[in-house]
A and B are shown apart, each in its own frame.
Chain A
Amino acid sequence: MTEKTLIMQGVRDKRPSLLSSLPFFVVALTLLPVLVVASSLLTPTWSVWQHLWDTILPELLLNTAMLLLGVGIGTLLLGTALAWLVTAYEFPGKKTFEWLLVLPMAMPAYIMGFVYVAIFDFAGPVQTVLRSWGLERLVFWQIRSGFGAIMVMTLVLYPYVYLLAKAGFAEQSGSAMEAAKVLGSSKTRLFFQVVMPLARPSIVAGVSLALMEALADFATVRYFNFPTVADGILRVWHGLMDLGAASEMAGLLAIFALLLLLSEHRLRNRRAYHQVKGKNQGLPTMFLGGWRGGVAAGICSVVVFAAFGLPLTQLLVWGSRGIGQLTPGYLAVYVRLAGNSLSLAAIAAVVAVAIALLMASLTRLRGGTLSRLLTQLVTTGYALPGAVIAVGILLPLSALDRGINMLTAAWWGVTPGLIFTGSIVGLIYAYTVRFMAVAYNSVDSSLEKIPPNTILAARVLGASTLRLITQVQLPLIMPGILAGAILVFVDVMKELPITVMLRPLGYDTLAIWVWQMAAESLWTSVALPALVIVLAGLIPIKLLLSQGK
């Protein structure tokens, strides 16, 4: 509060209107896509809906619901069980499995998906071998199905639940458990009546993060011929070139996202648990010796193998074949793709972190309910599926382009072409909206850690505002800024729906290449770009794991 009054005086002397209206401007830009989508939902074109309902809509809705249900149950069970295994038990290799189990996070579902299709489909190695042994009757699965999509997404997304459940378990004090034991609880009762309820808010948060990813995905479900609403938006857009219809579909997807958010909120906020902090011994662990330890290690190995080892090995095999067949032409393509991906990711990272820094510092200076509200609004993008944001940005930007061209044509008889939709402006805008929460949270938490007295001490010692920022604040928050930038960078590299919908014509990235080649089953030309994406995805995991220590 005092720091605020002090610095506000400095601010007030200079340009009050510009700086203080900036957050509102940023919030307005963030909310624009949502409002666009919402408004098209509120003004439905009945003929479009009628057509959709007669053709694909029932299937899309059903598939989306099944996907959410399946992935929800799958990640809940797998993530929580694994988290409990490494928290409550001691077994051979536990320390290693603790972080190995996080690695599948680096594998985007659209990469894992085509690897699984390739391996288990009719032409894949598994069925081929079985046929050659005359055992084709053992093929009970149809990988290109809802079941395949749910399985792959569960394997990729369970780490969200695993990480948050583990954190939820770790927060619990062993003494609460021991109190329950002394009171005579059996182990099962202990787990379901003490441990689980206490960890519930964390687990719910993990599952809802996983479900948001599943909801936003359109590429994976397409490999598995299991179209969902997100996929529907792209089909309508690409197939019918009808932006209005796409926007109404996007509204439908936004409703799903909203329901997800609301139910998460309800499940978490009904009970807020205040756990005793301080000397926390954590839950007591039990040593699993002999075959029990082997089973525990075996379960972890199977999960790590299925969710990371197998797809990575397959990619490496294809990759080595790909390197052998690498022609100068392909190399040039790869270099161009990587250049596009890297520059998009770098620009988005810089923009997002700069805005996050600005918003976070202004919010901290001002304080109050309004600022908190603005902050929440700016970070809502994380809950919005990429396709919703993309449609919500595409509509106003293309209107803007049309308007500009009409005006210039009328006044000077020239048309400058598509300034916004034909450039990467829209892409950067959409990425910034989508990943603002990531940048904001890491910048803000590093600001949070600066003790206010440190700033005051610098002021009293005569530091000018410039020196205060460059020599005290920036060095102290640099780790947070870098972490935020890296997280956004990697998220953009992996991102698909926004990139597919908003990229300028012919502007391909690694992710788009992977998705398109995989759809054509051109495995060897997919492998190298896919490996680059997976390796990039390992960076934030490294950050995450080193932070936890």
Chain B
Amino acid sequence: MAEEICAAVRTTSQSHVELSSLCKLYPDVKALYDLTLTVNRGEFFSLLGPSGCGKTTTLRLIAGLDCLSEGSIAIDGTLVSSPTYFMPPEKRGVGIVFQDYALFPHMTVFENVAFGLYGSPKAAVAKRVSELLGLVGLAAAAQKYPHEMSGGQKQRVALARALAPAPRVMLLDEPFSNLDAELRAALRSETKEILRDSGTTVILVTHDQEEAFSLSDRVGLLNCGKLEQVGTPYEIYHHPATRFVADFVGRADYLAARVEGSTVVSGLGRFALSSTERQGSADVDLLIRPDDVSIADDPSGTAVITEVRFLGAHALYTLQLDNGSVLHSQGLSAHLLPPYTRVAVTVNMRHTVVFAKQA
């Protein structure tokens, strides 16, 4: 009994940041439209979407850098924003890392990190700052100024500065987008580790699905101010709720197909429907990912390779099916097939995703 109560309490306190029916209107645009979302305690959550989709606006609303037009935001069960109530950003217990890092150019690294610890005893501040600088691997750079540092180092200072007051929620606004590819990958995993150890809830804003997938426990996909889908990276990629999601997170082809009972029939075979809601009888588009499609060199096959793109470990083939539709297939690049090879196509689907037929 006691355990059940504890479990119940834990589930209710699971939700850490709650956004309810958020709307944000700017004089000429509606930046956010009826956004409801719950981020759990200790979770790494990403808001993913194209530029201008409202993801940064959401982040700023949570931080208290902007006022919302409708709806409410609660952190730890406490209301922080509503059209009639506004808790100032410094009271919310949030930390933020900006895309341009926004370090104070006239302060040393030490002073930057210590900025949020104002009012604590000197010794405690010094201890905390050196602890954090050690954590981000910049212990030796404490007396440097931001302009003497590289982009990656600045990003780490910004992270340390945001972590210093031990925020309950950490907000990251495209923090890796100003770095080159190799450094970006290294800093991503480093940042994830540091944040996991700190136990903070993290909300990351990004337009890069690979970044969102590799870092997050869950991802929310935003489009034009509306939340299209929330789910684990696996769900988002393999069970996209909308065509927009399917297209945004990876290459998607659609085959004309027909639902018959609990199966879907296409030119490439009959597949079991994964979800029960579409059962019945209707014309649909079947989503096919390049990694679902395998090909084999076969002079009597039903498709021709029209383009081969070499991508390193993998190769991406564009296939023209005899019935006119175009598909993509991803295969290992070690065994490369040349263009104009006739191939047999096998679709190997662990799950089916269908959308209503598009006009």
Question: Which residues of A does B touch, CB under 8 Å?
Answer: 1-3, 5-6, 9, 451, 453-454, 456-463, 467, 471-472, 475-476
Contacts and interface: CB of A to CB of B under 8 A. Distances in A.
Nearest to B115: A461
B194 to A, nearest CB: 18
Q: Which are the 5 A-B pairs with shortest beta-carbon distances?
A: A461-B116, A453-B102, A462-B90, A457-B102, A453-B98
A248 to B, nearest CB: 47
A185 B67 CA distance: 58
Nearest to B88: A459
A458 B65 contact: no
B89 interface: yes
Interface in B93-143: 94-96, 98, 100, 102-106, 115-116, 118
Contacts of A451: 100, 102
Given A2-B66, A6-B65, A9-B86, A461 B165 contact: yes
Contact of A2 (B60, B88, B118): B60
**Interface band, chain B:** 20 to 34
A376 B203 CA distance: 43
Contacts, number: 71
Contacts of B162: 460-461
B230 interface: no
A154 B236 CA distance: 73
21 contacts: A2-B66, A5-B66, A5-B67, A6-B64, A453-B100, A453-B102, A454-B104, A454-B105, A456-B96, A457-B161, A459-B89, A460-B65, A460-B95, A461-B95, A461-B162, A461-B164, A462-B165, A463-B118, A467-B118, A472-B104, A476-B104
Contacts of B161: 457, 461
Contact of A460 (B67, B86, B96, B105): B96
Nearest to B95: A460
A476 B106 CA distance: 7
A458 B66 contact: no
Given A5-B67, A467-B118, A460 B94 contact: yes
B63 interface: yes
Given A5-B67, A6-B65, A6-B66, A460 B104 contact: no
Given A5-B67, A451-B100, A454-B104, 11 more contacts: A5-B66, A6-B64, A453-B98, A453-B100, A456-B65, A457-B104, A460-B65, A461-B115, A461-B165, A463-B90, A463-B118
Contacts of A460: 63-65, 89-90, 94-96, 162
Interface string B67-98: 10000000000000000001011100011101
A9 B116 CA distance: 22
B102 A456 contact: yes
Contacts of A476: 104-106
A2 B64 CA distance: 10
A453 B165 CA distance: 18
A454 B164 CA distance: 17
Interface of B: 26, 60, 63-67, 86, 88-90, 94-96, 98, 100, 102-106, 115-116, 118, 161-162, 164-165
Given A2-B66, A6-B65, A6-B66, A458 B104 contact: yes
B106 A458 contact: no
A462 to B, nearest CB: 4
A360 B308 CA distance: 59
A6 to B, nearest CB: 6
A463 B115 contact: yes
A3 B67 CA distance: 10
Nearest to B113: A461
A3 B64 CA distance: 10
Given A2-B66, A461-B161, A463-B118, A454 B86 contact: no
B51 to A, nearest CB: 17
Contacts of B65: 2-3, 6, 456, 459-460
Contacts of B103: 454, 457
A462 B116 contact: yes
Nearest to B91: A462
A475 B115 CA distance: 14
Contacts of B116: 461-462
A482 B91 CA distance: 35
A456, A458, A471: most-surrounded residue (chain B CB, <10 A): A456
A35 to B, nearest CB: 34
A2 B96 CA distance: 16
A2 B98 CA distance: 15
Nearest to A461: B116
A472 B112 CA distance: 11
Contact of B106 (A2, A456, A475): A475
Nearest to A476: B106
Contact of A454 (B66, B88, B102, B165): B102
Nearest to B96: A460
A132 B66 CA distance: 83
Contacts of B104: 454, 457-458, 472, 476
B82 to A, nearest CB: 14
Nearest to A452: B102
Contacts of A475: 106
A126 to B, nearest CB: 55
Nearest to B63: A460
Nearest to A449: B105
A317 to B, nearest CB: 47
B18 to A, nearest CB: 20
A3, A456, A461: most-surrounded residue (chain B CB, <10 A): A461
A454 B94 CA distance: 16
Given A451-B102, A453-B98, A457-B96, A462 B66 contact: no
Nearest to B171: A460
A240 to B, nearest CB: 57
A535 to B, nearest CB: 31
A3 B100 CA distance: 16
A6 B115 CA distance: 20
B118 A462 contact: yes
A5 B66 CA distance: 7
B94, B100, B103, B115: most-surrounded residue (chain A CB, <10 A): B115
